[in-house]
Amino acid sequence: MTINSCSNSMLTFASCILLGACAGGTAKKNRLKPKGLLFSTNSGLTWPTEGRVISPYGYRSGRMHNGIDIKGTNRSSIYAVDKGKVVFAGSMSGYGLSIILKHKDHFSLYAHCSELKVGKNSYVRKGQTIALTGSTGNASTEHLHFEYLNANKEALNPLKYLRAPKP
């Protein structure tokens, strides 16, 4: 399956890029509001942008939401959550301008961007600005849709892997 043959659905990332199905989980109503980002070399993923979580991982309106949505304002910077290689940078059906990073043991997706700052096959550092928040694709407001998938291409709740924000 190629990107051009994808339907306009929330499974576009898994079905078109990774060619695998996303595994679901139970929804948690965790409305975490990060006040800052941690750029640590310790374990744990760096927050991909500043802002509050406006839509958590889990089921919403009867469909699985495989990531989290973080409110963006004025084209906020989007950061790589870990070092890795850009395996996709471009427009995706439903997601608009998007970036997919391949890390040592996971993948991360950044969607609805207004501008991409890196290209395919680039290597990025943890905390590096890779894009700006936007509302491209199927988005009603400026935000970042962020997905985290393990090496088996199963969607995971990103809030379980992101480092706690600064108090």
Proportion of the chain above pLDDT 90, given as a percent: 66
Inform me whether the pLDDT recorded for 136 exceeds 90.
Answer: yes
pTM: 0.76
Domain boundary assignment for the chain? 3-160
From the list 59, 15, 48, 56, the residue with the least C-alpha distance to 153 is 15
Distance CA 62, CA 72 (A): 25
Q: How many CB atoms lie within 10 A of CB 135?
A: 15
**Rounded mean pLDDT, 111-134:** 98
Question: What is residue 63's predicted lDDT score, i.e. its pLDDT?
Answer: 93
Please give the pLDDT value at position 126. 95
Cβ neighbours around 160 below 10 Å, total:
12
- Asked if residue 10 has pLDDT above 90, the reply is no
Q: Which CATH architecture has domain 3-160?
A: Distorted Sandwich (2.70)
Query: What's the pLDDT score for residue 101?
Result: 98
pLDDT reading at 35 higher than 80: no
Judge whether residue 98 has pLDDT over 80. yes
From residue 19, alpha-carbon distances to 15, 16, 63, 138, 150 in Å are 5, 5, 20, 21, 14
List the single range of 8-17, 23-32, 101-110 with lowest mean pLDDT.
23-32
- Comparing 7 with 89, the larger pLDDT belongs to 89
**More confident: 135 or 28:** 135
Report H helices in the chain.
12
| pLDDT beyond 70 at 52 | yes
